[in-house]
Structure 1
Amino acid sequence: MTDTALSPAPVPAKASPFYQLEVLWVRHWTDQLFSFAVARPEDFRFRSGEFVMIGLPGEDGGKPVLRAYSIASPHWDEQLEFFSIKVPDGPLTSRLQKIVAGDTVLMGKKPTGTLVLDALTGGERLWLIGTGTGLAPWLSVARDPETYSRFGRVIVCHTVRSVADLAYRDFFTQGIHDDPLIGDEARAQLTYYPTVTREAFETPGRITDRIKSGAVFADLGLPDGFDPARDRVMLCGSMAMIKETGELLETYGLKEGSNAEPGDYVLERAFVG
Structure 2
Amino acid sequence: MNDVTLATPTPAGAAPKASGAFFVETVTWVHHWTPSLFSFRTTRDPALRFSSGQFVMVGLQKEDGKPLVRAYSIASPSWHDELEFYSIKVPDGPLTSRLQNIKVGDPVLIGRKPTGTLVLDGLKPGKRLYMLGTGTGLAPWLSLARDPDVYERFETVVVTHTVREVADLNYAELFDELPRDEILGELIDGKLKYYPTVTREEFRTKGRITDLIASGQMFTDLGLPSFNPQEDRVMLCGGPSVLADLKQQLLDLGYQEGSIAQPGDFVLEKAFVET
TM-score (norm 1): 0.91
Q: Which aligned segments of 4 or more residues in structure 1 are displaced greater than 6 angstroms?
A: none
CA separation in 1, counterparts of 2:216 and 2:262? 30
- Answering whether residue 98 of structure 2 is matched by residue 98 of structure 1, we say no
1:76 aligns with 2:66: no
Compute the displacement of 1:177 (Å).
2.4
Tell whether the 8 Å contact from 1:44 to 1:109 is kept in structure 2 after alignment.
Answer: yes
CA distance in 2 between counterparts of 1:136 and 1:29 reads 14
Counterpart code for 1:38? T
Q: Judge conservation of contact 1:145–1:181 (CA < 8 Å) in 2.
A: no
Residue equivalent to 2:182: 180
Structure 2 unaligned blocks of 5 or more: 1-17
Matched, 1:42 2:46: yes
CA drift of 1:130 comes to: 0.3
Amino acid at match of 1:63: K
Q: Match of 1:5?
A: none
2:39 and 2:85 in contact (8 A); partners too: yes
Q: 2: CA distance between counterparts of 1:28 and 1:15? A: 31
- In the alignment, what sits opposite 2:133? 130
SS in 2 for 1:271: coil
Shift of 1:230: 0.7
Whether 1:53 aligns to 2:57 is: yes
Deviation per CA, 1:35-60: give whole Å up to 9, x if none. 0000110111000000000010113x
Q: Which amino acid aligns with 2:87?
A: S
Residue 18 (structure 2) pairs with residue 17 (structure 1) = no
Cα distance in 1 for partners of 2:93, 2:132 equals 26
| Cα RMSD (Å) | 1.4
The aligned residue for residue 239 of structure 1 is 240
* Equivalent residues of 1:26, 1:37 under 8 A apart: yes
* Matching residue of 2:214: 212
Give 1:62 deviation, angstroms.
Answer: 4.9
Q: AA paired with 1:23?
A: V
Mapped to 1, the partners of 2:100 and 2:273 lie a distance apart of 23
Cα distance in 2 for residues equivalent to 1:47 and 1:29: 26
Determine if contact 2:128/2:154 at 8 Å carries over to the other structure: yes
Q: Is the 8 A contact 2:39 2:86 kept in 1?
A: yes
Residue type at the aligned position of 2:68: V
Q: CA deviation at 1:186?
A: 2.0
Give the unaligned 5+ runs of structure 1: 1-13
Match of 1:264 in 2: 265
Q: 1:167 maps to what in 2?
A: 170
Letter in 1 for 2:20: S
Please say if 1:143 is aligned against 2:146.
yes
Rounded Cα–Cα distance in structure 2 between residues aligned with 1:178 and 1:24:
25
Distance 1:62 1:146 in 2: 40
Q: TM-score, normalised by structure 2?
A: 0.91
Question: Which residue in 1 is equivalent to 2:34?
Answer: 30
Offset at 1:234? 0.2
Aligned to 1:85: 88
Secondary structure at the aligned position of 1:270 is classed as coil
Percent of aligned pairs sharing the same letter: 59
Letter in 2 for 1:181: I
Q: Name the larger-Rg structure.
A: 1
**Corresponding residue pairs, total:** 257
Determine if contact 2:179/2:190 at 8 Å carries over to the other structure.
no
